[in-house]
Amino acid sequence: MQNHYSEANGLLDRMLINSGNETLKASFLKIAQKSRKQAVALINHNGLRFTTLYILLPEIDGLSLYDDLIPRNQIAFTLCAKILMDLKPSADVNKQLSDNNDFIHSVLKWMFITGAKDDGLSNEFDQVLDVVASRLIRIYHDADILPELVRIIFSRNRKGFYTNDLVWALFGSRNPHIFRLIAKYLRSQRRADVELAGKLLKHAPGEENSDGTEKRPQYSMYLSWFKENQPYLYFTGEGFHQTSDPTPCCVDLGAKFLCKKISPKDRKPIEPLTEADNNHLDEFYRKKSAEEVLLARYSHHLHSVNRKQWDRWMEYPIDKQVKIAKDRLGGAS
């Protein structure tokens, strides 16, 4: 994939950083009036940040520079026009953007990586970032942006800004590593961070808040829970659009009982189940929910400490398995 953001910032970026939006716009217009060629060269600089291009979109549109832009900038211009609808989109908007190829991916990544630091620039800019993040995750399955995405979500949440679409994009990654990234905010000094982290990690057991309102996991507890359950986590597709109390992720207790890893994307076992596995599962799912939790937990524990004992235990009748698990774990679930 082509890299559009490896070089040092261009002159226009430096103008933006040092003098702000309005000076950048005025300077760019002045340069274009003197030399259209120079203005085009500056905007097409390989190290240009997306933020700079975004701020200059009305000027680029007004000066009819679209045809002189390099493909990276044309794609970014077109996508912004499509999202915001107040710029003239090029005629082949949909064709340009519908191509599921490496080049579009690289442009989207440039937009996100070089634009993310300026999140909060304006409502419209943030909307563009939301869509770019969503496309990167849902179409290109790009996991590289997840840490920055989580950072933006928490940053916006502190300011009371809109986060729903980014949270939706984040869970759309169906990548369990996002939970490690979120869990870090359980240790934050900011109450807003801790509350949001608690909401996003509701799939794990938590402790009652000091005010008794909501349960949330503690950081170390969560990490140990995550380590135990990660191979068996799957995403449900639930989100805040649908319910106030979504469970975007669950533990597949059957998989945990068999100690067989599943795909977090579709809940299918990574390795096909044997006939013996299916027979064990039939028995397992006849038990009550609390016993399922107990069996899954004990099975995982035994499997990790003594594989031979686990092999023997798995061959016992299910009621004997429950009894042993209760004796060893004290009925804990």
Q: What does residue 140 show for φ and ψ, rounded to 5 degrees?
A: -100, 0
Distance of CA 300 to the CA centre of its chain: 28
* C-beta of 48 vs 146, nearer to other proteins: 146
Largest CA distance in the chain: 87
Q: How far is the CB of 89 from other proteins (least distance, A)?
A: 13
* C-beta of 191 vs 308, nearer to other proteins: 191
* C-beta of 190 vs 265, nearer to other proteins: 265
* C-beta of 54 vs 168, nearer to other proteins: 168
Q: How far is the CB of 125 from other proteins (least distance, A)?
A: 11
Q: How far is the CB of 328 from other proteins (least distance, A)?
A: 33
Check if the beta carbon of residue 287 is closer than 8 Å to that of residue 322. Answer: yes
* C-beta of 240 vs 310, nearer to other proteins: 240
**Residue 66, class by beta-carbon neighbours within 10 Å (0-12 exposed, 13-18 middle, 19+ buried)?**
middle
* C-beta of 14 vs 159, nearer to other proteins: 159
DSSP conformation class of 20: -
Q: Is 235 strand, coil or helix?
A: strand
Q: How far is the CB of 235 from other proteins (least distance, A)?
A: 11
* Residue among 181, 190, 98, 104 nearest 142 (CA): 104
Q: How far is the CB of 116 from other proteins (least distance, A)?
A: 17
* C-beta of 77 vs 313, nearer to other proteins: 77
Tokens 């390989």 -> residue: 46
As given in the structure block, the two tokens for residue 111 are 């937009």
Q: How far is the CB of 203 from other proteins (least distance, A)?
A: 16
Rg (CA), the chain: 26
Bridge partner list, 235: 249
How far, in Å, CA of 210 to CA of 195, rounded?
Answer: 12
- What's the half-sphere exposure (Cβ side, CA atoms, 13 Å) at 29? 13
Footprint of other proteins (CB under 8 A):
82-83, 98, 100, 123-124, 126-127, 130-131, 134-135, 137-139, 159-165, 168-169, 172, 237, 239-245
Q: How far is the CB of 94 from other proteins (least distance, A)?
A: 9
Question: Cα–Cα distances in Å, from 253 out to 36, 218, 271, 296?
Answer: 64, 22, 16, 6
* C-beta of 36 vs 138, nearer to other proteins: 138
Question: How many residues can be counted in the chain?
Answer: 333
Q: How far is the CB of 134 from other proteins (least distance, A)?
A: 4
